């Protein structure tokens, strides 16, 4: 069985890393797996191919990435949340990796190698297509998370994230484009039960075959490091308990940092410090009543492992998250997690076993959860967290995908 994964870009970041680990898990269990996408030159290999192999193709990629910015100029009042049209992309069906594939597994591709039209063209070749949903974008009119809006259930238009009062706005155009090109021959996989249910409620995918298979991590690389050794390696010298937060972009609206800042008001500055990783943007390290150390954006797994191991608790106050890979990464390193009991994270954390699930989106209960974990013994969590993380190991998840592929090929 030959499988090719279509991935948007840098394999060290966010959703792309989840796709990369799935690819590695498949190779480890004996499947022939390759990756195709707008991959940086330093990440390419005999099994990882890029559509951007020349100066001209890289110029095309840059133009594709800027295309959404041009269209969004029509909505100058919109908040700067993630919004992608998927109207522009590369033609990849003639690539040798596609030609050799039995199954094409599409992942996060916005502003990358595959447009909505291109996905429809790919499906028309008769290849078995799996689309792994890594956020809400595949069934919305352009937003990656709809927040309180449910217009994706009726076809979008009058988009609140565009600050639009027009029914035939850009979100409606994107939605209609998806309806024309995304067919039920494509098998849909949500990375959490919450995301799968959102897809089933959408107008676009309500009649599709939707399966839930979780995101995965590399639990062979993410293992516990002795706490004091990890702190020494990170140049942290403190007797305080360490609360860790991390994300690609900590100031992203979806990540719930304001809710954590409110919770931090109830933590003891004499006993607790905060450790951060991820992009902090131009505003830098935020003001808070606790000692703070920022590690910056961490792209290498070795330093991530040290950060997770150095902490006493990992806090994920995410307001809308498709899965929550950072939660599993923390637990793989033996660190308990505090999150809100909502969306993807609610299915990862076992309440008062591997951490604490706070009432959404109650900052007081989030603070209570952090204090509850810090008051417990470390030994109460060590075995439970690593055991729970093992359920999301890349080989475990790869076998679930392999079973799905075999089912699809058997029905062909």
Q: Both 343 and 240 in a single domain? A: yes
Q: Both 274 and 232 in a single domain? A: yes
pLDDT of 356 strictly over 80: yes
- Cα–Cα distance between 206 and 194 in angstroms, integer? 14
- On whether residue 248 sits in a domain, the answer given is yes
pLDDT digits (tens, 9 = 90+) for 236-251: 999 999 999 988 777 7
Position 8 scores a pLDDT of 85
- 332 phi and psi angles, rounded to 5 deg: -60, -30
- On whether residue 305 sits in a domain, the answer given is yes
Confidence of residue 283 (pLDDT cuts 50, 70, 90): low
- Report the first-to-last Cα separation within the chain, whole angstroms: 14
pLDDT digits (tens, 9 = 90+) for 192-218: 999 999 999 999 999 999 999 999 999
Contacts of 74 (CB under 8 A, 6+ apart): 170
CA angle 217/233/380 to nearest 5° reads 55
pLDDT digits (tens, 9 = 90+) for 1-13: 999 999 988 888 8
Confidence of residue 281 (pLDDT cuts 50, 70, 90): low
Best CA proximity match to 340, nearest among 322, 317, 307: 317
- On whether residue 296 sits in a domain, the answer given is yes
Position 116 scores a pLDDT of 95
Position 282 scores a pLDDT of 62
Q: Both 88 and 136 in a single domain? A: yes
Domain extent for 118? 2-216+394-411
Taking residues 185-194, what's their average pLDDT? 97
- Cα–Cα distance between 349 and 56 in angstroms, integer? 46
Catalogue the E-assigned strands of 51-178. Answer: 103-106, 128-133
Name the burial class of residue 141, with classes exposed (0-12), middle (13-18) and buried (19+) by CB atoms within 10 angstroms of its CB. Answer: buried
Q: Both 383 and 406 in a single domain? A: no
Q: Both 138 and 245 in a single domain? A: no
pLDDT of 324 strictly over 90: yes
Q: Both 21 and 73 in a single domain? A: yes
- On whether residue 336 sits in a domain, the answer given is yes
Q: Please tell me the total count of domains within the chain.
A: 2
Q: Both 145 and 175 in a single domain? A: yes
Position 412 scores a pLDDT of 61
Q: Both 209 and 320 in a single domain? A: no
Confidence of residue 64 (pLDDT cuts 50, 70, 90): confident
Percent of the chain with pLDDT over 70: 99
Q: Both 106 and 187 in a single domain? A: yes
pLDDT of 376 strictly over 70: yes
- The reported pTM is 0.93
Q: Both 231 and 170 in a single domain? A: no
Q: What CATH number does residue 344 fall under?
A: 3.40.50.2000
- On whether residue 222 sits in a domain, the answer given is no
Q: Both 378 and 402 in a single domain? A: no
Taking residues 56-72, what's their average pLDDT? 84
Hey, what are 409's tokens?
């090929």
Q: Both 382 and 403 in a single domain? A: no
């Amino acid at each position: 069985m030959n499988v090719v994964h279509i991935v948007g870009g840098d394999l060290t970041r966010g959703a792309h890393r989840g796709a990369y680990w799935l690819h590695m898990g498949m190779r480890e269990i004996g499947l022939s797996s390759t990756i195709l996408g707008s991959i940086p030159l330093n990440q390419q290999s005999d099994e990882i191919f890029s559509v951007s192999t020349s100066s001209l193709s890289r110029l095309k990629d840059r133009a594709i990435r800027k295309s959404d910015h041009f269209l969004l100029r029509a909505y100058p009042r919109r908040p700067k949340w993630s919004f992608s049209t998927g109207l522009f992309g590369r033609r990849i069906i003639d690539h040798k990796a596609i030609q050799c594939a039995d199954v094409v597994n599409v992942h996060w591709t916005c502003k990358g190698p595959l447009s909505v039209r291109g996905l429809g063209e790919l499906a028309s070749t008769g290849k078995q297509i799996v689309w792994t949903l890594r956020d809400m974008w595949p069934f919305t009119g352009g937003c990656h998370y709809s927040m309180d809006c449910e217009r994706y259930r009726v076809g979008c238009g009058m988009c609140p994230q565009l600050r639009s009062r027009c029914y035939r706005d850009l979100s409606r155009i994107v939605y209609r484009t998806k309806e024309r090109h995304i067919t039920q021959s494509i098998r849909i996989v949500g990375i959490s039960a919450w995301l799968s249910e959102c897809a089933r409620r959408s107008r676009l995918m309500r009649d599709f075959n939707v399966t839930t298979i979780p995101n995965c991590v590399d639990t062979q690389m993410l293992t516990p490091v002795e706490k004091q050794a990890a702190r020494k390696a990170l140049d942290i010298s403190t007797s305080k308990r360490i609360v860790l937060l991390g994300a690609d972009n900590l100031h992203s609206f979806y990540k719930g940092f304001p809710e954590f800042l409110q919770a931090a008001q109830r933590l003891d500055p004499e006993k607790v410090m905060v450790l951060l990783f991820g992009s902090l943007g131009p505003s830098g390290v935020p003001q808070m009543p606790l000692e703070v150390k920022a590690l910056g954006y961490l792209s290498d797994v070795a330093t991530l492992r040290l950060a997770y191991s150095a902490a006493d608790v990992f806090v994920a106050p995410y307001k809308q998250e498709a899965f929550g890979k950072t939660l599993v990464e923390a637990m793989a390193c033996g660190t308990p997690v505090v999150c809100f009991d909502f969306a993807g994270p609610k299915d990862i954390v076992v309440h008062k076993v591997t951490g604490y699930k706070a009432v959404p989106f109650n900052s007081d209960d989030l603070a209570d959860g952090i204090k509850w974990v810090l008051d417990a013994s470390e030994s109460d969590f060590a075995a439970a967290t690593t055991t729970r993380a093992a359920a999301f190991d890349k080989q475990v998840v790869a076998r679930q995908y392999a079973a799905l592929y075999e089912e699809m090929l058997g029905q062909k």
